[in-house]
Structure 1
Amino acid sequence: MPRALTEQETEAFRERLCEAAAHLYVEEGPGAVTMRRIATDIGVGTMTPYRYFENKEAIVTAVRTRGLHRLCEAMEHALASPGDGRTRSRAVRDAYIAFARDNTATYRLMFEYPETNRDDPAYRDAHQRMWRNIAAHVEVMIAEGTVAGDPAIIGHQIWAALHGAVMLEIAGMLPEGFDAAALHTRTVSAVFDMAKAKP
């Protein structure tokens, strides 16, 4: 009789399943993300993934949940760095870009795949944490008197520009001489000018 896996081993195997799903999505498209293919790709029996996740949608939700938490951790660490609001906002931007570059398959699955488990409590918590992070660096600048307005709206404007720049970089479609950070710097300057606090 095989021994029971430890909690750490179980978590490591769940992570393998999540990584396999993300890579299948990027390399072959959403149709390739099936429990059978995931099992085949990591070399286990076809029923093994069902011991850890109910179905492929549960795996996709886990990829997104885990990815959002890791991204938020990086952004929160960046926001805690020294400097004024603009400096810390740039640090958050750089942490976001670094995550997308280092975890491209996960990043794409996080934001491209239609989410069908929006009511999953863990995913909902991760999503709300992301929303807090989107506004947090703007709140710092508002507190300093640098910008004025709704931090959630300004944060989403900045995020939309950043996500667009990141996806263009991933697709290799940025103008020559630009990367995501350079393009975003130009775009976000306009956002900050519009939101500049009045004397």
Structure 2
Amino acid sequence: MGVAERKKRERDDRERRITAAARQIATAEGWEAVTIRRLAEAIEYSQPVLYSHFANRDAIVAAVAVEGFRELADALQCAPEGHTDGRDAMRAVASAYLAFAWKQPAIYEAMFAMPTGLRFAEADAPPAARDAFAALAAVVPAGDVETATETFWAALHGLVELDRAGRIRPSAREERLTLAVNGLLGHEGYAVAVSTKD
């Protein structure tokens, strides 16, 4: 291994350690506990070393958010496997989305609520975010797929946020999910071509 390759590997490893520490602290104590000083202590590097990798805390949150989008995309891409009916595939993807948000609340917050500077509806959106959007798009009705996907995403995100805030009844989660899917599909005869992950 050449010197440049070794240095890149070491740099990548430090960045992984920084984001892993940020995730761990945020999961245990919330994002307000994630500071450059705290991260430096957690990974036993100086603050200048952290700043040599990330310009500021928001950049670290953005890196965690991108990791989250990769994990979400993987979960959504796997969800419709084995479902040939469009309604079942869409419900499986919706369930996978909600499960991710519930199991990874700190990561979900980094993805959608924290200031990161990440852009979504633009050509320069992170590939992981585009992959997650594509996984949602794969199960929405034909027609204006982009608008249908944005509506599907908005409905799921709204369910997550309202539920997490205690504004809606936990006992009606399944019914709300059914209504969201049925509302987007529009009628019983709808079928979507479900692509499965190779």
Aligned partner of 2:53 in structure 1 is: 52
Aligned with residue 155 of structure 1, among 143, 149, 153: 149
Instruction: Please say if residues 76 and 132 of structure 2, whose CA atoms lie closer than 8 Å, have aligned partners that are also in contact.
Output: no
- C-alpha distance in structure 2 between counterparts of 1:26 and 1:131, whole Å: 28
Alpha carbon RMSD of aligned pairs, Å? 3.2
CA shift in 2, pair 1:42/1:168, >3 Å: farther
Is this contact kept in 2: 1:61–1:123, CA < 8 A? no
How far apart are the structure 2 equivalents of 1:117 and 1:156? 17
Cα separation, partners in 2 of 1:172 and 1:152, compared to 1, 3 Å? same
Contact (CA 8 Å) 2:163, 2:169: kept in 1 or not?
no
Q: How far has the Cα of 1:166 moved from its partner? A: 1.4
The correspondence of residues 120-135 of structure 1 with structure 2, limited to 5 A, is 124-135=126-137
Structure 2 match to 1:145: none
Match runs of 1:1-199 below 5 Å? 7=9, 11=12, 13-22=14-23, 23-24=25-26, 27=29, 32-118=33-119, 124-138=126-140, 141-142=141-142, 149-179=143-173, 181-193=174-186
Q: Which runs of 5+ in 2 are unaligned?
A: 1-5, 191-198
Three-state SS of the structure 1 residue aligned to 2:166 is coil
What is the deviation of 1:90?
1.2
Higher relative contact order (CA 8 A, sep 6+): 2
Residues of 2 paired with 1:176 and 1:152: CA distance?
Answer: 30
Secondary structure of the structure 2 residue equivalent to 1:177: helix
Maintained 8 Å contact 2:40/2:50: yes
The alignment of Structure 1 onto Structure 2 pairs a total of residues equal to 182
Residues 67 and 107 of structure 1 are in contact (CA less than 8 Å); yes or no, is this contact kept in structure 2? Answer: yes
Alpha carbons of structure 1 residues 70 and 25: separation in structure 2 relative to 1, 3 Å: closer
CA 1:65–1:122 in structure 2 vs 1: closer, same or farther (change >3 Å)? Answer: farther
Aligned equivalents of 2:103 and 2:72: distance in 1? 11
Contact 2:91–2:177 (8 Å) recurs in 1: no
Q: Is the 8 A contact 1:21 1:38 kept in 2?
A: yes
Q: Is the 8 A contact 2:76 2:136 kept in 1?
A: no
> What are structure 1's unaligned runs of at least 5 residues?
143-148
Q: Residue 70 of structure 1: CA displacement? A: 1.0
- Letter of the structure 1 residue corresponding to residue 94 of structure 2: R
Which deviates more, 55-64 or 34-43?
34-43
